[in-house]
């Protein structure tokens, strides 16, 4: 991979391409998120809530001067090359949010998230844990429901002390973990491209999250239209980051870095990891739809 895609030691702009708001499982509203990004000194932020674009309008309306906003989403996907299928996440940027099939798929996945969440709560209650689905929904406040909302309910009930503990094997990490319906990853890449957007594989080598897909799959996805790989991420070890960089170089993909910020649900700060300007420019050049970058 060319040195141009490596983050500079003295970047011209600070660019964070992966952050969540209360539209999914973050703790800051979209307006608060862009305000925090500006206060942190970011120049470019992407809002990438899980399987939804619901936070876009509020974030754009609240954009502070000097901050550029890349509108995106983190899509819940799977690869069927293993049994059970391997879950993975795809970051989609600058796509048309009205593309009919993509809209339908995101609606389906959000509904599946709710069904899964309600089933997890039922399992917890069957084991004597006083967690209520109505409380989880209230905590989500209309956003796309995810396991972090259940984690917060566990914390409020005094069953765990932190989100990290809630995702350990005795809780949501294994015992109360259920598979969710999502989108075949090849179909997701095709839908993002059809909507004029750009697809980037989120934290592709994060073994601490569970199974990772083989490099050959990423090669097949690159042939199908995948544009980039997220290398610099808190869940990648230094060796995993270098693996992703080398793979991106072989496949001609650009690399991104980002915080994957969730507010108080995670300890990582906005801007903790960033994307180099040349890689960001490649992302912008790859977009072909009606959605552009919003500027404050």
Write down all domains in the chain, each with its CATH number in brackets.
Answer: 12-295 (3.20.20.140)
Q: What is the pLDDT of residue 100?
A: 98
Q: What is the pLDDT of residue 282?
A: 98
78 near 88, Cβ under 8 Å? yes
**C-alpha angle 56/136/133, rounded to 5°?**
135
Q: What is the pLDDT of residue 77?
A: 97
- Continuous segment of H or E residues that includes residue 188: helix 185-194
Backbone angles phi, psi at 136, to 5 degrees: -65, -45
Q: What is the pLDDT of residue 62?
A: 98
The contacts of residue 105 (CB under 8 Å, 6+ apart) are: 183, 187, 188, 191
Tokens of 181: 């319906």
Q: What is the pLDDT of residue 175?
A: 94
- Continuous segment of H or E residues that includes residue 50: strand 44-50
Q: Tell me the per-residue pLDDT of 1-15, one tens digit each, with 9 for 90 and over.
A: 333 444 444 457 999
Nearest to 86 by CA among 205, 172, 1, 193: 205
Q: What is the pLDDT of residue 140?
A: 87
Q: What is the pLDDT of residue 7?
A: 45
**Torsion sign (Cα): 212, 217, 219, 224:** negative
Q: What is the pLDDT of residue 139?
A: 87
Q: What is the pLDDT of residue 142?
A: 83
Q: What is the pLDDT of residue 274?
A: 97
In the 8-state DSSP scheme, what is residue 131? -
**Residue numbers in the chain where pLDDT is lower than 70:** 1-11
Nearest to 195 by CA among 69, 60, 92, 65: 92
The answer to pTM > 0.85 is yes
């Amino acid at each position: 991979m060319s040195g141009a895609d490596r983050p500079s030691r003295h970047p011209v702009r600070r660019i964070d391409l992966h952050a969540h708001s209360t539209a999914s499982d973050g703790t800051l509203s979209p307006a608060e998120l862009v305000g925090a990004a500006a206060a942190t000194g970011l120049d470019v932020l992407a809002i990438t809530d899980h399987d939804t674009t619901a936070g876009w309008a509020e974030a754009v309306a609240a954009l502070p001067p000097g901050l550029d906003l890349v509108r995106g989403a983190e899509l819940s996907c799977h690869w069927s090359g293993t049994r059970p299928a391997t879950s993975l996440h795809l970051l989609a940027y600058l796509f048309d949010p009205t593309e009919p099939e993509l809209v339908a798929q995101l609606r389906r996945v959000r509904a599946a998230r709710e069904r899964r969440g309600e089933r997890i709560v039922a399992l917890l209650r069957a084991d004597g844990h006083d967690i209520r689905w109505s409380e989880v929904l209230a905590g989500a406040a209309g956003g796309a429901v995810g396991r972090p909302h259940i984690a917060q309910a566990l914390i409020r009930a005094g069953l765990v002390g932190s989100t990290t503990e809630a995702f350990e094997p005795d809780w949501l990490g294994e015992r109360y973990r259920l598979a969710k319906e999502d989108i075949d990853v090849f179909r997701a890449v095709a839908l993002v491209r059809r909507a004029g957007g750009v697809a980037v594989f989120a934290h592709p080598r994060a073994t601490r999250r569970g199974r990772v897909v083989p490099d050959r799959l990423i090669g097949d996805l690159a042939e199908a239209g995948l544009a980039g790989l997220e290398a610099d991420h808190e869940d990648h070890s230094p060796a995993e980051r270098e693996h992703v960089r080398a793979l991106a170089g072989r496949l001609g993909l650009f690399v991104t870095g980002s915080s994957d910020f969730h507010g108080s649900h995670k300890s990582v700060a906005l801007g903790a990891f960033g994307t180099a300007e040349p890689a960001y420019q490649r992302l912008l050049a790859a977009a072909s739809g009606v959605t552009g970058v919003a500027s404050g």
